[in-house]
Amino acid sequence: MLTLFTTAKPFVGHSGIIQRNALQSWKLLHPDVEIILFGDDDGVAEVCAEFGLHHEPHAERDPSGLKFIHTMFDRAEEIASYDVLCYVNCDIILTSDFYDAVQRVRVKYAAFLMVGRRWDTEITEPVDFSNLRWSDELRQLAHGSNN
């Protein structure tokens, strides 16, 4: 179905909260979503084990420590279980409408490129994913933040 891949900052403080929120939202998209997380930053291995994600600890870096995105794209293409791959920043919460859009395009086109935009929204606490309205509430918060 769909392979999502990303790299993360260390899972500490606010970055840890928003990245965990994002990854949890991705896990809820569909049972056939694979998630690959690149890097060996603090907390990455532990989060991968906790969430059942595919961990690729090696990420090539330039001398300043910045990860080379093109090598992650190449490696994701090699190891992905599915033919539809999507790179997403690790702090982006995805809801079912994202998955539905990918499926609508996938049915219509054999090869495609989709591009989206983020809605910056101040989220400082873990999202309660047990709340069945979590995505509706976050969508309302995002709409209110971006007027």
Below-50 pLDDT ranges, the chain: none
Share of the chain above pLDDT 70, in %: 98
Q: Enter the pTM of the model.
A: 0.93
Q: Which domains does the chain have, with CATH numbers?
A: 2-119 (3.90.550.10)
- DSSP secondary structure code for residue 26 in this structure: H
- At residue 13, the pLDDT reads 97
- At residue 143, the pLDDT reads 87
Whether 88 contacts 96, CB under 8 Å: no
Interacting residues of 98 by C-beta distance below 8 A, sequence separation 6+? 29, 116
Q: Of the candidates 1, 3, 21, which has an alpha carbon nearest to the alpha carbon of residue 85?
A: 3
- At residue 77, the pLDDT reads 97
DSSP-based three-state secondary structure for 87: strand
